[in-house]
Structure formats: C-alpha cells, structure tokens
Amino acid sequence: MSKYLLNKFLYTIDRDPELVERYREDPRGTVEWWESERANVILNVLTGEKSTWLRFNDVEREALATQDVPKLFELGAHPFLTLTLCIAMFERDYDEPLAYQHLYAQQLSHFTLPYPDIST
C-alpha cells in the first residue's frame, strides 16, 4: 500500500481542470491511464525521467476507480486532498450551499478517533 501514491494521484488530478473532468467522467479509465503514464514520473515533472516501481494495489485501484471516499480515507488518503478534488467534481451537482461538503462529512462520520494514519 502506498499512501504517497494515493495522495500523489489526488493532488495531480485536482491541479488540472482537464484531469478533474476526465476523472469525473471516466474514473476507472483515468486511474488506469494515470497509473501507467504518470505514477512513476519523478516529482511531477514530465521530463522523460521515470521510476518503475510505483503501482496501486488492487484495493487502492478499486477505491480510486469507484471514487470511494470512505475507503480512500481508510487507506490513508489525506482528507483535504479527497475533499478538494471531490468538491471540484461533485459540488456542481447540488443546489444547496455546502451540500457536497455535508455529504462528504456524512460519508466519513462512521470513523472515530484515532483516525487512519494519513502520514506519508
């Protein structure tokens, strides 16, 4: 399991509006593409220099592909990264102010202290 890789995925997708839309429309395809093309890019700089060992495990890949926020949190994804990405993808689907943020809080409400470790 790589909390680093989960968080790198969330961070890099959230920073690119085109990738946000791609992940919203085709989450599984975006995860597969990102894992093969971007997961091993060193320091997010597309220079052709890559490592070769970073891969999601099956549980991480499925949680990302299904946009399963509680599972991602359980796996150690940073809640601020999941929240900001999910706001970018889903807030527009709700009419009420903060409606998505309330849903997000509800999805994570079954977690109690101590929370899963989010350190990388």
Residue 41, strand partner residues: 50
Q: Tell me how far apart the alpha carbons of residues 72 and 78 are, in angstroms, rounded to a whole number.
A: 8
Query: What pLDDT score does 24 carry?
Result: 97
Confidence of residue 54 (pLDDT cuts 50, 70, 90): confident
Q: For the chain, which residues make up each domain, given as ranges?
A: 3-108
Please name the residues in contact with 22: beta carbons below 8 A apart, sequence gap of 6 or more.
Answer: 29, 30
For the residues of 25-84, what is the DSSP string, one character each? Answer: H-HHHHHHHHHHHTTTBGGG--SS-B-S-----HHHHHHHHTT-HHHHHHTT--HHHHHH
Mean pLDDT over the full length of the chain: 87
Burial per residue of 103-115, b for 16 or more beta-carbon CB atoms within 10 angstroms, e otherwise:
bbeeebeeeeeee
For the four alpha carbons of 96, 87, 21 and 1, in that order, the dihedral sign comes to negative
Q: Pick the residue with more confidence: 117 or 111? A: 111
Q: Tell me the two tokens of residue 75.
A: 């796996």
State yes or no: pLDDT of 35 exceeds 90: yes
Share of the chain above pLDDT 90, in %: 66
